[in-house]
Amino acid sequence: MTDLDDVDAQLTAADKEILYSIPERTGGGLYYNIGDGRWGGSTILMALGLKERNLSGHIWTVDTYHRYNPSDVAKYSTKHEVDSYITRCKGRSSEWEDKLKDKWFEFIFIDGGHQYECALEDAAFAMTHSNLIGFHDTNMNRVSKAIQDSGILEWRLIHDVVRTKVFERVSK
């Protein structure tokens, strides 16, 4: 088992634990990560969660990569030997919505653009493509307002740490 402290990420230890635990909850499957960041941390944590539990699954991750080159980010997934679990998509999440519209994801993690409009649009896409959605940086007012306005507060809140909230759809 990987020591999660060894996974570079723009995430707290508690955020990391949540992402690493997701495959156990879903039993594997297809995930979508919005916002790969400098080290691809959230993506790698989900991939490690799959690999170290022998679960099959795959992660699509989107980022503009305007600050970090995808091939530099890929060095970290190579280090953790999880490249085969990951497909990296370059561009804004809004640009990828059409290409991903026919997919269903067992989990979506939203940590891309933190402007209100972007977080709200990502939430709207996620709510029609998954029953399990995580948001990062929920302590930021514009992210928390997007969460509030998205309607997802009607879902069940299953994780709530300082900067991460995960909601599960309540079946009717």
Ligand X SMILES: C[S@@+](CC[C@H](N)C(=O)[O-])C[C@H]1O[C@@H](n2cnc3c(N)ncnc32)[C@H](O)[C@@H]1O
Query: What are the residues binding ligand X (CB under 6 A)?
Result: 9-11, 34-37, 39, 41-42, 62-64, 66-67, 92-93, 111-113, 118
Least distance from C-beta 151 to ligand X, angstroms?
Answer: 21
Three-state DSSP at 43 gives helix
For ligand X, give the closer residue by CB, 18 or 170. 18
Least distance from C-beta 55 to ligand X, angstroms?
Answer: 20
Least distance from C-beta 117 to ligand X, angstroms?
Answer: 10
Least distance from C-beta 129 to ligand X, angstroms?
Answer: 15
CA distances from 119 to 77, 97, 134, 135 (A): 26, 13, 12, 9
CA distances from 87 to 46, 82, 120, 163, 165 (A): 13, 11, 24, 26, 24
For ligand X, give the closer residue by CB, 9 or 108. 9
Three-state DSSP at 4 gives helix
Q: What is the dihedral of CA 111, 32, 64, 155, to 10 degrees?
A: -40
Least distance from C-beta 127 to ligand X, angstroms?
Answer: 17
The helix (H) or strand (E) run that includes residue 25 is helix 13-26
For ligand X, give the closer residue by CB, 91 or 156. 91
For ligand X, give the closer residue by CB, 26 or 164. 164
For ligand X, give the closer residue by CB, 69 or 156. 69
Nearest to 43 by CA among 53, 51, 52, 33: 33
In the complex, which residue's CB is closest to ligand X?
Answer: 37
